Structure 1
């Protein structure tokens, strides 16, 4: 059954606070996304114009612009006057769809990065894809099954109307939290293995493995879980879209950083290589063992080129 929230001439402080928070949240999302795009515009165009077209490049473009579609739909859904329940249903479904697509694209970068760090280990890939699929299925089922019965237009203040939803996203965010915790654990294990073999500064190893990108994504998942668990309903969406935007920013920043490192490491001839740079810590370990056997510099260069070519062949089909 569809419930309609009646129009109130008097708005208590609780409802008004929720509306003010919603307005602030939406404007903050728009500002953060626009500011990040403006700050990285030069780097992004350098990447887009200087790299060849691959599936990952298409994924990058979708990940970049999907939050803009999400924010636009969110603003329209919350502030466009409408009493049409069918229109509200469509807007809510569209908003959730953009959110799911955005998270899927962002997490794909972290999955591919982790896959590269584990030397394209297919068992690790199978574990990650299983968790990834669980998040996707849970999000689709929970979101759209809840919204199919409970969308309603709101009109608590004159001229400030819109559509809202009572979808319970606690389960999808719990699964997303577990998935991101798994990615962080896999990356941390790989970083510790590299630290033990290379015996270098632990901070440099963690930075090289992009561990802080993973940790930041996990932090916002934790924040959303706690918000859904502890706060009232009108505050449940407070960090939801913000997390989607932050995940996209983290994924794109990580990709740009790795692409730039890859270009500096291999020179202009390979600047057009497109995805995650080779797991350098694993190569370093192999190089140390090779040098202990007394190999020449020419042979060492051939090994580096062979590993790099193999990586491109496996990761960039």
Structure 2
């Protein structure tokens, strides 16, 4: 049983709560700033399309785990099982959100490579053979070995600190970093090629923003990786939550960009996924 002292409460609990508030603020502010684009480019289009379904999941699922985490970290619980059940539910929702975001990014990569079967095989193979098994193993071990912090024998804060310089939490972000590096590399290769051979403003914008978004994702993964190694008294879920929110925001803009009616007619000879 972990019984934290006042120093732990100041250095672990408060930063975790701050990350929750930052995540919620980013989520709500971005939604308000882009609501007009959502209405024009999503709700006024064909709602049954695969792109719309992905967008809606990516757009709204972060609200579930962000506000659930806000309630969780500001509430005193009275049993380890209650915390574990909440963490399992939140972890599933966060993992679903991250998976949908990365699916959107993979579809973008597949599309800008002209729907190459080799690129599709590379992305699917990396996901099935590397990412999914390792992440599932890490999540299983992390939740199996969880040990929450007790304020008193009957009062528990639902935060399980990262233990040691290397942990299952760290492995998750290593895998995410590997997968995003693969996507970023493929995107940058194609961006250089398109820049040399295309004069279409929209196509150049698509590739430029794709590279920028992948750089943001890579930086966030690196920050989270460092955080799980050095910030031992903060739970993994806070790191994953912030990354999930930022990836959701970036992926929303990917879909907005390819659906922007002001650019769709600018000399595009290439067909992109999710543009309908």
Q: Distance in 2 between matches of 1:165 and 1:21?
A: 14
> Match of 2:245?
245
Q: Distance in 2 between matches of 1:260 and 1:198?
A: 19
Q: Distance in 2 between matches of 1:148 and 1:191?
A: 43
> Match of 2:10?
16
Q: Is the 8 Å Cα contact of residues 8 and 233 (structure 2) preserved in structure 1?
A: no
1:146 aligned to 2:142? yes
What 5-or-longer segments of structure 1 have no aligned partner? 268-277, 284-306
Please give the residue correspondences for 1:255-294 in structure 2 after superposition, counting only pairs within 5 Å: 255-261=255-261, 264-266=263-265, 280=268, 283=269
Which of the pair has the greater relative contact order for Cα pairs under 8 Å at 6+ separation? 2
Q: Is the 8 Å Cα contact of residues 206 and 257 (structure 2) preserved in structure 1?
A: no
> Match of 1:163?
158
For each residue in 1:137-181, what CA deviation from the matched residue of structure 2 results, as whole angstroms up to 9, or x when unmatched?
A: 32222112221232425327x98x521235631112111101111
For residues 189 and 79 of structure 1, do their structure 2 counterparts lie closer, same or farther at Cα, with a shift above 3 Å needed? same
For residues 153 and 57 of structure 1, do their structure 2 counterparts lie closer, same or farther at Cα, with a shift above 3 Å needed? same
Count of aligned pairs between the two proteins = 266
SS at match of 2:158: strand
> Match of 2:227?
227
> Match of 2:52?
57
Q: Distance in 2 between matches of 1:20 and 1:166?
A: 13
Q: Is the 8 Å Cα contact of residues 118 and 190 (structure 1) preserved in structure 2?
A: yes
Q: Is the 8 Å Cα contact of residues 2 and 147 (structure 2) preserved in structure 1?
A: no
Alignment RMSD? 2.9
1:38 aligned to 2:32? yes
Q: Is the 8 Å Cα contact of residues 258 and 264 (structure 2) preserved in structure 1?
A: no
> Match of 1:115?
110
Match of 2:2 among 1, 5, 26: 5
What 5-or-longer segments of structure 2 have no aligned partner? 163-167
1:98 aligned to 2:93? yes
Q: Distance in 2 between matches of 1:125 and 1:110?
A: 12
For residues 252 and 40 of structure 1, do their structure 2 counterparts lie closer, same or farther at Cα, with a shift above 3 Å needed? same
Q: Distance in 2 between matches of 1:255 and 1:136?
A: 25
For each residue in 1:238-260, what CA deviation from the matched residue of structure 2 results, as whole angstroms up to 9, or x when unmatched?
A: 53311111011000111101110
1:137 aligned to 2:133? yes
> Match of 1:302?
none
> Match of 2:22?
28
SS at match of 2:123: helix
SS at match of 2:264: helix
SS at match of 1:154: strand
> Match of 2:63?
68
Q: Is the 8 Å Cα contact of residues 138 and 172 (structure 2) preserved in structure 1?
A: yes
> Match of 2:42?
48
TM-score if structure 2 supplies the norm length?
0.85
SS at match of 2:186: helix
For each residue in 1:196-234, what CA deviation from the matched residue of structure 2 results, as whole angstroms up to 9, or x when unmatched?
A: 334899xx56854621011111110111112223x1312
> Match of 2:165?
none
> Match of 1:192?
192
Q: Distance in 2 between matches of 1:191 and 1:36?
A: 27
